[in-house]
Structure 1
Amino acid sequence: MTESDTRTRHLNRFRPRRSPASDSATTPAITPDPQRHQSPMFGFLKKSAEPAPDDATPAAPTPAPSWRERLKAGLARTRAQLGGKLKSIFSRGKVDEELLEELESLLLTSDVGLDATEYLLDELKARSRRDRIDTPEGIQEALAGALHDLLLPLEQPLDVSAHRPFIIMIAGVNGAGKTTSIGKLAKHFQAQGRSVLLAAGDTFRAAAREQLQAWGERNGVTVIAQEAGDPAAVIFDAISAARARGIDVVLADTAGRLPTQLHLMEEIAKVRRVIQKADPSGPHETLLVLDANFGQNALAQVKAFDKAIGVTGLVVTKLDGTAKGGVIAAIARQCPKPIRYVGVGEGIDDLRPFVARDFVDALFE
């Protein structure tokens, strides 16, 4: 091999090799495959953009509990106090003196009251003799039937179609839940397709006015309020405004007061008289809001407010926070005012018309 050949061979080692066809044609441009050459560093971008598989169906939303379910849950503490212990008492399977004594003690401690307790015991004995009850299930069914018969007269739904505007005056002691109940009632009547106006008649507590205005904004209803002044004048103006605007229902708040505060009880009586000046047929309903936690003290409230302003219906609140739900039976015997609504929670839909069968079933189920 010559020296020239050796030099040429040495240079060829550093030249790129070409296919035979490359001497006569231009090498085409290579388009990179995005799937093959995707950088692993950015692989997560590609995965997030991929559509979900066709068979991936979204989870079905959990259905909201029914009112009966919410009522049952709300009465859990009363049921634990009453219904849970009844099974033990009824386990002997016969209505004898020992059973009646134990049952009497249990009903009294559940705030059923003496009059209602005597009524229920007498009914249980009569039904036991008549139907020859000899099983725990039969005894419970007989007691539940007696309680239902006792509460049924209180089941009188409120009809607001008789007047326009239909004026509802709301009263009660401090902390019973008047203002909150008004907000829930506004939503309830709106769900029936009725227009509502709120009257901030509690002019003593600034927070009450602000709270009512917050409920008004939440429900989209007008609130008639004043920074200060006579509560009767505020409600009078609200009724005039409702009449001018064609409003269906006026909910008039009043300041909380104790039955023993005689000067305040006289003041609320004045509010009622002013309402009658604005509308001789009003108020068309006077609702007393009762906190179920008060137990037997609620009876004294009903009697005192009824004497001052003529109570026509009751709203029993906070049944979910007490074991004293038996007070409704005491009301039925000692001061039987219609229970228009019961409340078992803080939600806007947790205030509903009272239904005796639902209430009894929630206690015994």
Structure 2
Amino acid sequence: MLPFKRNKTANETANETGFFSKLRAGLKRTGSGLGQLFSGRQSIDADLLEELETHLLMADVGIEATTQIIDDLTARLKRNQINDPDSLRTALREDMLAILEPVAQPLVIPQQKQPFVILTVGINGAGKTTTIGKLAAKLKQDGHRVVLAAGDTFRAAAVEQLKVWGERTDIPVISQPTGSDSASVVFDSHQSAIARGADVLIADTAGRLHTQANLMDELRKIARVLGKQDENAPHEVLLVLDAGTGQNALAQAEQFSEAVNVSGFVLTKLDGTAKGGVIFAIAKRFGIPVRFIGIGEGVEDLRTFNAEAFVDALLDVSATEKNAS
């Protein structure tokens, strides 16, 4: 099995450093005041814990995850395991990592499944089509032969957007006229991917409102059509969520998971929201892998989710501080 990673070049290492800086800047709104909450304090008191709880809830970390974190910190205090604001922040970092590390699982493209079918779902505006373009470019860069399916036949703009990505990256895009049956497009795309000897097929779908049952039925139909050609397809169902929707992302995740077997999340637009903490709520509620996060429009702004980098950016923890601890 080939993991979705390879040895980094010097440029990629530099890009990764730049990405972390951008992530840190992007999460400032989410973690506003969180990293600085402990600065200048000499002791831990009830007010500090209450402020911390408020910050977590305002960042949409969610009641379940916030309760778990605050309860653990309170228990550590009672056991005298933490006794000053610095050790409290270290303990907070550990508790956050405990929630996110289990879901920080990169996408894996097995060699024996060709084509490996990725069905991409999500509501309009979540950044789904853009995510597909970025992911396709990354997979191609890793040496995979990729085919794209323009399955969002309800919006001509979505088809055109995907075609632009295809032209930009020299990746074939299979499409039909607007209004065509989405399942038919995906069926044809799968046949084309097989004929081309492609390693990966990434299928776009309509930006389905999770409250519309008929559109969810369309998703189930696509999954059934794929299953008839390959009983294991789709091999990955990626749900793209806009971090800015906050707790509404949980409702979307629940509805899409009922319609299709969601196997991975992509959290986008983390660079402009105060609600990026929803990733903790998602991890706590579903336990489904978070494959990627996105913080910008460039190809390099879609990255495999790294729990440690995320938490450190959120808490504004520097490499020097980590090494010291």
TM-score, normalisation: structure 1: 0.79
Q: Which residue of 2 aligns with 1:307?
A: 258
Q: Please tell me whether residue 127 in structure 1 is matched to residue 53 in structure 2.
A: no
Paired residues of 2:44 and 2:84 also in contact (CA < 8 A): no
1:91 CA drift (Å): 4.1
How do residues 1-365 of structure 1 correspond to structure 2 at under 5 angstroms? 65-82=14-31, 84-89=33-38, 91-130=40-79, 132-161=81-110, 162-228=112-178, 229-365=180-316
Paired residues of 1:87 and 1:136 also in contact (CA < 8 A): no
Paired residues of 1:83 and 1:364 also in contact (CA < 8 A): no
Which piece of structure 1 moves more, 231-240 or 97-106?
Answer: 97-106
1:265 CA drift (Å): 0.9
Q: Which amino acid aligns with 2:262?
A: V
3-state DSSP of counterpart to 2:72:
helix
Give a deviation string over 1:157-198, Cα, whole Å, max 9, x none.
111115110000000001111110010000111121111000
Query: What fraction of aligned residue pairs are identical, expressed as a percent?
Result: 49
Distance 1:75 1:273, change over 3 A: farther
Mapped partners of 2:191, 2:124: distance in 1: 28
Paired residues of 1:317 and 1:343 also in contact (CA < 8 A): yes
* Structure 1 residue runs without a partner (length 5+): 1-61
Q: Which amino acid aligns with 1:175?
A: G
Paired residues of 2:34 and 2:52 also in contact (CA < 8 A): no
Mapped partners of 1:259, 1:75: distance in 2: 31
1:96 CA drift (Å): 3.2
Paired residues of 2:23 and 2:310 also in contact (CA < 8 A): no
Q: Which amino acid aligns with 1:140?
A: R
Distance 1:241 1:305, change over 3 A: same
* Structure 1 vs Structure 2 CA RMSD: 1.9
Distance 1:210 1:77, change over 3 A: closer
Q: Which has the larger radius of gyration?
A: 1
Mapped partners of 1:78, 1:281: distance in 2: 37
Q: Which residue of 2 aligns with 1:24?
A: none
3-state DSSP of counterpart to 2:194:
helix
3-state DSSP of counterpart to 2:300:
coil
1:317 CA drift (Å): 0.6
1:78 CA drift (Å): 3.2
1:101 CA drift (Å): 1.4
Task: Tell me the number of residue pairs that the alignment of Structure 1 and Structure 2 aligns.
Answer: 304
Distance 1:278 1:139, change over 3 A: same
1:79 CA drift (Å): 2.7
3-state DSSP of counterpart to 1:150:
helix
Mapped partners of 2:237, 2:77: distance in 1: 40
Distance 1:237 1:220, change over 3 A: same
1:269 CA drift (Å): 1.0
Distance 1:171 1:146, change over 3 A: same
* Structure 2 residue runs without a partner (length 5+): 1-10, 317-325
Give a deviation string over 1:292-345, Cα, whole Å, max 9, x none.
110110000000000001100001111011111100011111122110000011
Mapped partners of 1:113, 1:80: distance in 2: 17
Taking CA–CA contacts closer than 8 Å with sequence separation of 6 or more, which of the two structures ends up with the larger relative contact order?
Answer: 2
3-state DSSP of counterpart to 1:286:
strand
1:71 CA drift (Å): 3.4
Distance 1:307 1:211, change over 3 A: same
Mapped partners of 1:234, 1:63: distance in 2: 35
TM-score, normalisation: structure 2: 0.88
3-state DSSP of counterpart to 1:156:
coil
Distance 1:274 1:181, change over 3 A: same
Paired residues of 2:30 and 2:273 also in contact (CA < 8 A): no
Distance 1:220 1:131, change over 3 A: farther
